[in-house]
Amino acid sequence: MQAPSVVIAAELQRKIDNKTKPLGALGELESIAFQLGKIQQTLTPDVSKPKMIVFAADHGVVAQGISLFPQEVTPQMVMNFLMGGAAVSVFCAQHNVPLRVVDVGVNAELDAHPLLGSRKVAFASKDFSQQAAMTTEQLEQALQAGVDEANLAIDDGVNLLMFGEMGIGNTCVSSCMMTALIGVSAIDSAGRGTGLDSAGVSHKAQVIEQALQRAEQETGQIMADWSAQTLAEQVGGFEILAMAGAMLQSAQRQTAFVVDGFICSVALLFAQKVAPNVRDYAIFAHQSNEKAHKVLLDHLQAEPMLSLDLRLGEGSGAILAYPLMNSACVFLNKMASFESAGVSGAP
């Protein structure tokens, strides 16, 4: 995987700077326009053909009482997505963004639906506090599900991919993966998720510590030495890995993708362990209310577009940020230059 070529960078910056505005006056919008132009290797970036893909799966660790909600909420919410009633559904409809929901591990049989992709790896991962979350074959299937979904979209002409997730317990899984990936303590990576109190967060951190200790003993390696494969097999989640696979393939095909909140950011963190250049194709939507997200964004040296105190997941922050990305393209493509407008003071 190659990083975007920098050949066009100077010309892009000149075009941005020559718009009828003071230098840097459009702030982060200029950074987004620059990044999109560099990814697409054009002076006229375009995000008019976006797509939202929400990956859904369940997690065996829910058996340890780490979530306020029971596991049956996952398939119920998937149906809510498909019927158009969820936040991501109504926001996608508002902005005319196609929505696809992909089952990679929901613990239920789901009826066929035009918006549903069926790529089920298993009926939930295993309880990683007791045993490895998945097999090597399941890991490969989860990653491939994301690769296939990215290819499907890009082959259809999509020029901006947005990712979301659904899975009761997946903040616990994400916190565990984050601890293993960057070495922060479990108590610093564990957050309230869907609304845990302080005792619940403490319990979640204990379960994460137990899982990592078990995995270190079984693998005979400290987590800092784990490969991406070992980490995913021991403490991963199917929908998180599917997102990572989709991100890796998006980058491979030089297509920008939008990172939603905490869980999606962990997927990127994992993808970056596989291929560091994937980070260059990521646009960060928002900083969520989940306490570890800022730590993770700082680690990724990311500047998210929004900070709205969101903690919903499901791609809600990504779709809310979409109009800003569209505006970044509009200003670069349609705003007058000093020369074309006959305005004095060009830099």
Q: How confident is the model at residue 191 (pLDDT cuts 50, 70, 90)?
A: confident
Q: Read off the CATH number of the domain in which 187 is found.
A: 3.40.50.10210
Question: Is residue 176, in this structure, part of any structural domain at all?
Answer: yes
Question: What average pLDDT does range 209-230 have in this prediction?
Answer: 97
Model confidence pLDDT, tens digit, residues 290-301: 989 999 999 999
Within-domain flag for 173: yes
- 203 within 8 A of 104, measured Cβ to Cβ: no
Q: What is the pLDDT of residue 345?
A: 63
Q: Which two tokens stand for residue 120?
A: 């089920």
Tell me, yes or no, whether 215 lies in a domain.
yes
In a domain, 75, yes or no: yes
What's the mean per-residue pLDDT of the chain? 96
Q: Which of 165, 233, 290, 314 is catalytic?
A: 314
Q: What is the pLDDT of residue 125?
A: 98
Q: Could you tell me if residue 103 is inside a domain? A: yes
Tokens standing for residue 119: 């790529």
Identify which of 93, 100, 134 has the alpha carbon closest to the alpha carbon of residue 238: 134
Residue 12, pLDDT above cutoff 80: yes
Is there a domain that residue 164 lies in? yes
> Bridge-partner residues for 53, per DSSP?
100, 163
Query: How many percent of the chain have pLDDT more than 70?
Result: 99
Q: Per-residue pLDDT for 200 more than 90? A: no
Which of 70, 60, 91 lies closest to 162, judged by CA? 91
pLDDT per residue as tens digits for the range 96-105: 999 999 999 9
pTM recorded for the entire structure: 0.96
Tens-digit pLDDT profile for residues 170-185: 999 999 999 999 999 9
Give mean pLDDT, residues 232-260.
98
Distance of CA 228 to the CA centre of its chain: 17
Residue-range definition of the domain harbouring residue 214: 50-322
> Can 233 be counted among the known catalytic residues?
no
**Going by C-beta distance under 8 Å and a sequence separation of 6 or more, which residues neighbour residue 124?**
57, 58, 59, 60, 71, 105, 106, 107
Tens of pLDDT, residues 17-45: 999 999 999 999 999 999 999 999 999 99
Confidence band, pLDDT 50/70/90 cuts, at residue 193: confident
User: Average pLDDT of 247-270?
Assistant: 98
User: What pLDDT shows up at residue 340?
Assistant: 86
Q: Is residue 36 part of a domain?
A: no
Domain annotation covers residue 4: no
Q: What is the mean pLDDT of residues 34-60?
A: 98
pLDDT at residue 204 in the model: 93
**Residue 273 corresponds to which tokens in the numbers above?**
């362990």
Helix (H, G, I), strand (E, B) or coil at 210: helix
What mean pLDDT do residues 191-197 have? 81
Number of domains in the chain: 1
Q: What is the pLDDT of residue 141?
A: 98
DSSP assignments along 141-187, one per residue: HHHHHHHHHHHHHHHTT--EEEEEEE-TTHHHHHHHHHHHHH---HH
- The CA distance from 15 to 191, in Å, is 43
Element (H, E) at 55: strand 50-57
CA–CA separation, 248 and 228 (whole Å): 13
